Structures are given as structure tokens and as C-alpha cells.
Amino acid sequence: MDWDQLELHPRIIASVRKVKLKSLREVLCVSGPDLQRLTGLSRVDVHQLQTAAATACRRSPPTPGAVYVCTEDPFPARRLQQLIRGQGSRRRDVPAALTRCSGDRVYVEHAADLESLQTCLSRRVPVLLARRHVRLLVVDSVAALFRTEFQASDWLERSRQLISCSHTLHTLSREYNTPVLCINQVTDVFSSDDSLGPVPGGVSPALGLAWANQVMVRLMMRRLQQTVARGGQSSTLRRLEVVFAPHLARDGRDAAVWREGVLGVDGSETSKRDRCV
């Protein structure tokens, strides 16, 4: 990147070179306050730098986005646009020009059966990854196809297909250094005694141990009974927990879903949740 091509004051360019920021992506990935600390520039100078970098990125090859593979429900396009509109209040350090075009970098694929899913993962997704158009792969949901295409007696073939799908995802993640997020459904766990009905709060992954043993990190999001409010919004309280991870402690945190995204609920909001039910 030739920084002299940007329409910036030479003093700003000299500060960027001094801290050895080599690309526009590095500038856009660092928050405004952090850029101020690194470069010693003022808030106005940092805003000019980020705006120039965002404008240059729109003229250059796109910043890496994400692939979203839908296997069950239609892609939530309206929700995506709502999230994009809410980023202005959540990330004030990011230029508006960058957030407005973020939806252009989400590639959506609909897979109605396992054959379509395998074709997508083995042919289409590698092309985007190789060209560095995407840096995240989401499969929503991995359980939908396997629960509908196989009967109980087909458990051996289902396990074989599960392992094949897992191998493809692991290969993509390893070869292209890309995180893969697979959304799984859960089923109720029923009591083994004489009482009928599910165990309160007892759920297990829909695909069982055959799939659970294929993933590196397992996260569980539960819907709680409480409701929290913030400003003119209200949300059912959620609990995001680390079920298994080789590098994370088994812990969790309360969260809520707002117009601008999923945010953690701090102690003051949690203490008020009984009042907000």
C-alpha cells in the first residue's frame, strides 16, 4: 500500500508509517482510541484516516466477508439490514462508509439437501476462500438435513455422512485458516423414572455424540424466563455458556438480543431483570 495515494496530510501519513501499519485492513481493524494511542494523532486526524481508508477499500478489492449457508429457513435479510443500520451507534469509531457496504460481503447459499450442501462446501466455498473474499463460514443449521433425510435404521449411513461433512469443514478451516460456525439444534432430555415429560432445563445436541465429537468448541445459548429492558427496547434474557473448549474455562454470561446485535448484560442490568419481567 502506497500511503501517498491517500488524500491525507503528510503529518498523518508519517505517523502511520512510524507505527508500521502496512495495509488499509490494519487501519480499519483497529479502533479509533487505539489508533490515537498508537499514532499520537488527534481524534479528528484519526477520523480522517479511517474515512480515507474506508473510501480506498471501496475502490479496491472487497474486504473479506462471510458465507452463510442456509439449510432450513430463508436467510434473514431484514435482520441483517437492521444490524447494519445499528452499527453506527455501536461502533462509532468505524466510518459510516464502511458499515453501510458491509452487507455486500455476505454470500448466501441455500442447500435443500445433503448433496447440495456437499457441493457448496467442496466447490463454491473454496473458490471464495482462495480468492480471499470471505474469512468466515456459517452453516445454519447442520442438524436440519440430517434429521430429515435419514430414518432411525439408517444410523450407520447418517454417521458416515456426518463424518464426511465434518472432514470437509475441518479441511476448509485448516487450509484457509478460516473459522467455521455450525449451528446445531437441541432436543429435550426425558426423565428415565416413572414421571412423564422432559427434564426441566435438560437438553442435548440434536445430532448426539457423533457430531459433538467432531467440533472443537461447543457453545450453548439458552433462553431464560426473565426479560430485560434498555431504552425503548426489551429482550428475553439469554445465557451463553461454554460447554467444551480446550482453551476456555467452562463459564457463561447473560446476554440480550437488541436491534444492533447481541450484547452482554452487565451486573446493573441483570440486577434489574426481576423488575422488568
Just give the CATH number of 1-60.
1.10.150
CA angle, residues 208, 137, 107, in degrees to nearest 5: 130
pLDDT at 267 over 80: no
Give the tens place of pLDDT for each residue, 194-244.
555 555 556 777 888 778 888 999 999 999 989 999 888 999 999 999 988
pTM: 0.70
State percent of the chain over pLDDT 70.
84
Provide the β-strand partners of residue 70.
Answer: 110, 140
Give the tens place of pLDDT for each residue, 105-161.
899 999 989 999 999 999 999 988 888 888 899 999 888 888 878 877 888 888 899
* Calpha distance 161→106 (Å, rounded): 27
Beta strands in 23-175 (DSSP E): 65-70, 106-110, 134-140
- Per-domain residue ranges for the chain? 1-60, 62-215, 217-277
CB atoms within 10 A of CB 262: 13
CB hemisphere CA count around 153 (13 angstroms)? 0
Distances (CA, A) of 121 to 77, 104, 117, 227: 22, 21, 6, 39
* Calpha distance 211→134 (Å, rounded): 25
Query: Is there a shared CATH topology between the 1-60 domain and the 62-215 domain?
Result: no
- What CATH architecture is 62-215? 3-Layer(aba) Sandwich (3.40)
The mean-pLDDT minimum among 17-21, 67-71, 120-124, 144-148 falls in: 17-21
Residue 231 confidence (pLDDT): 84
